[in-house]
Amino acid sequence: MSNQELVKILYEMAVLLEIKEVAFKPQAYERAAYSIESFGEDVAEIYKKGGLKALEDIPGVGQGIAERIEEYIKTGRIADYEKLKKEFPVDISGLMEIEGVGPKMVKKLYQELGIKNASELEMAAKAGKLEKLEGLGEKSEERILKSISFLRQSQGRFVLGFILPTVRKIVDSLRALPEVKRAEFAGSIRRMQETVGDLDILVISNKPSKVMDFFMKMPEVQEIIAKGQTKTSVRLNIGMDADVRVLPPESFGAALQYFTGDKYHNIALREIAIKKGYKLNEYGLFKGEKLIAGKTEEEIYKKLGMELMEPELRTNHGEIEAALTGKLPKLIGYDDLKGDLQVQTDWTDGENSIKEMAEAAKKQGLEYILITDHTKSLAMTGGLDEKKLMKQMVEIDKVQKQVSGIKILKGSEVNINKDGTLDIDEETLAKLDVVGAAVHSNFNMPEADMTARIIRAMENPNVDILFHPTGRIIKRREPYKLDMDKVIKAAKRTKTVLEIDAFPDRLDLKDEHARKAVGDGVKLAIDSDAHSAGHFKFLEFGIAQARRGWAEKKDVINTRPWEEMLRSLK
């Protein structure tokens, strides 16, 4: 069993119970699903170690749901779920991903039109059948069709941050084999791309068959797709395919280079090799028949006249030219962050208290955090008004006295109103150490209006950081329409910091915008957007995003000690 499978069932349970109009339970299942999705630790493993009690200790998981999880781990099924699914034999997850489709709609679509999945919904929308449904019009048909085509683009891809714990375990168990000298990720995972299509693992061993046998029998493997002497392909439980290749040491570097890619980087590299009279492939760099480099990536790049570049840069977007002229950026490192400037607590929609968040951040090695709960117009999260914000500042002072070794800064994630004003008064904002502003409503504005709205917020002297600037959620929600060139220019002019929200399915700014911002001298902040104590580890994915955006340590304000960071703000 994997966390992902469990999450899917819990989400579907929530929707099925809501369709049945059961009170309270749907929210509980949704909370549990959301919490486990971003939890990071293997739930089956937790159960193995601590039983039912340990399951109940997972944030958002109560006794009833813990028992269902136990049932699933023990028997591979949940009886309640299967019963509900018989009544509603529809692809709930697939339908719910579509914008504008909620539990009520799923029910209506099935009961009135017999629609069971996204492609049936697409056909019905194209045939104009949805217009007849109550509460739906021509506009919603259009939106549904647009959303389906957006989802199709990201289909079959997995959010890196959600699958990385699982696939790291696979590589770690391979590394632990005595027959394995070395095992490494290649492909999009090594490049730390936002999403990955399949997993590529390279192994050095002189006993390939032993490695393959072990790999195929791993508990994470669902079925074998192709088995060969030196390459095996499988489908993992999480639904993703994985390739393992076993190589001899003399061509490991060449294989690592080739299978790390990306494809466009490889093609450009091969052309350079040809120009120099060489041949480059996954077995090595050759002059005629003679292998002249292949053991390490470094010697291959060196022979081609280049410094070795970090995998995150390898996309053929200028890194080759930079490497040829010794102008590669010195990327921000994975240990360079000293603080986290977007942290939610149980004052709004976070799971943990201010103190628990501070302690978790300290454990992760951070020196400071900024508490940024939502504000009042985000009513569903219990957003704070001016009075509650003042109360929270007093509480932070109190908690600060109880914890050592971590500075707790006072902040807020203020809503940007439709007209670009904020939903908290200036007097209160001025009392905070750092203010982040963000759009959480009216996503569907024309580009010019949305751009003006955001720029107006950036012009506010109290707004220090623009949080998750484009509002996208990978595989779920497209960014709102925004002129990023103008936003970046305004950030420069107003000295507003742009955030890279590191939450695995946000990664907002995306890499190309981060690179543009950095190139224009705009400062970035990399924040976890933690909603529970386990989320600080997501900073890794924000750093990866920044690295793919060519950001250096100096470009990111929370690499600085907190006092210096504060001084650098507008």
- Under a CB-based contact definition with an 8 Å cutoff, are residues 116 and 110 in contact? yes
**Rounded Cα gap, residues 502 and 509, in angstroms:** 9
Footprint of ligand DGT on 262-291 (CB under 6 A): 262-263, 266-267
Interaction pattern, residues 441-460, with ligand DGT; x per rule: CB under 6 A: --------------------
527 strand-pairing partners: 501
Compute the least distance from the CB of residue 218 to Ca ion, in Å: 18
Specify the DSSP element, H or E, that contains 108: helix 103-113
Nearer to Ca ion, 200 or 395 (CB): 200
CB of 469 to ligand DGT, least distance (A): 25
Helices marked H in 217-367: 252-260, 263-275, 297-303, 319-324, 354-363
* Range 247-266, binding ligand DGT (CB under 6 A): 258-259, 261-263, 266
Q: Residue 269 Cβ, how far from ligand DGT at the closest point, in Å?
A: 8
Q: Which is nearer to ligand DGT, 35 or 260 (CB)?
A: 260
262 binds, among Ca ion, Zn ion, ligand DGT, none (CB under 5 to 8 A by kind): ligand DGT
**Where do contacts with Zn ion occur on this chain (CB under 5 A)?**
438
Q: Which residues bind Ca ion (CB under 5 A)?
A: 187-188, 198, 200, 243
Which residue number, 269 or 539, has a Cβ lying nearer to ligand DGT? Answer: 269
Residue 239 interacting with ligand DGT (CB under 6 A):
no
Query: Is the CB of 18 or the CB of 413 nearer to Zn ion?
Result: 413
Shortest CA distance to 213 belongs to which of 171, 244, 181? Answer: 244
The dihedral through the CA atoms of 173, 177, 180, 181 has a sign that is positive
Shortest separation between residue 265's beta carbon and ligand DGT, angstroms:
8
DSSP 364-428: TT-SEEEE--BBTT-GGGT-B-HHHHHHHHHHHHHHHHH--S-EEEEEEEEEB-TTS-BSS-HHH
232 binds, among Zn ion, Ca ion, ligand DGT, none (CB under 5 to 8 A by kind): none
- Report the nearest approach of ligand DGT to the CB of residue 461 (Å): 43
Q: Which residue minimizes CB distance to Zn ion? A: 438
Which span (197-205, 394-402, 417-425, 430-438) binds ligand DGT, by CB under 6 A? 197-205
Q: Which two tokens stand for residue 497?
A: 């910091």
Joined tokens for residue 448: 């010019």
Residue 125 in contact with residue 136, Cβ under 8 Å? no
Give min distance, CB of 527 to Zn ion, in A: 10
Beta strands (DSSP E) in 428-537 are 434-438, 465-466, 497-501, 524-527
Using the structure block, give the residue that is written with the tokens 């960014």.
479
Cβ-based nearer residue to ligand DGT, 137 or 156? 156
Residue from 147, 188, 257, 364 touching ligand DGT (CB under 6 A): that is 188
CA distance 281 to 476: 38
Q: Hey, is 202 helix, strand or coil?
A: strand
Q: Nearer Cβ to ligand DGT, position 163 or 416?
A: 163
Minimum CB distance to Ca ion, residue 234 (Å): 12
Q: Is 5 helix (H, G, I), strand (E, B) or coil?
A: helix
221 or 445: whose CB is closer to ligand DGT? 221
Q: CA-CA distance, 132 to 138, in Å (whole number)?
A: 10
Which residue's CB comes closest to Ca ion?
187
Q: How many helices (H) and strands (E) does the chain have?
A: 24, 17
Q: At its nearest, how many Å lie between ligand DGT and the CB of residue 244?
A: 12
Find which of Zn ion, ligand DGT, Ca ion, none residue 464 binds, CB within 5 to 8 Å per kind: none
438 binds, among Ca ion, ligand DGT, Zn ion, none (CB under 5 to 8 A by kind): Zn ion
Q: What is the C-alpha radius of gyration for the chain, rounded to an integer number of angstroms?
A: 25
Shortest distance (Å) from residue 526 CB to ligand DGT: 23
Where do contacts with ligand DGT occur on this chain (CB under 6 A)? 187-188, 196-198, 200, 258-259, 261-263, 266-267
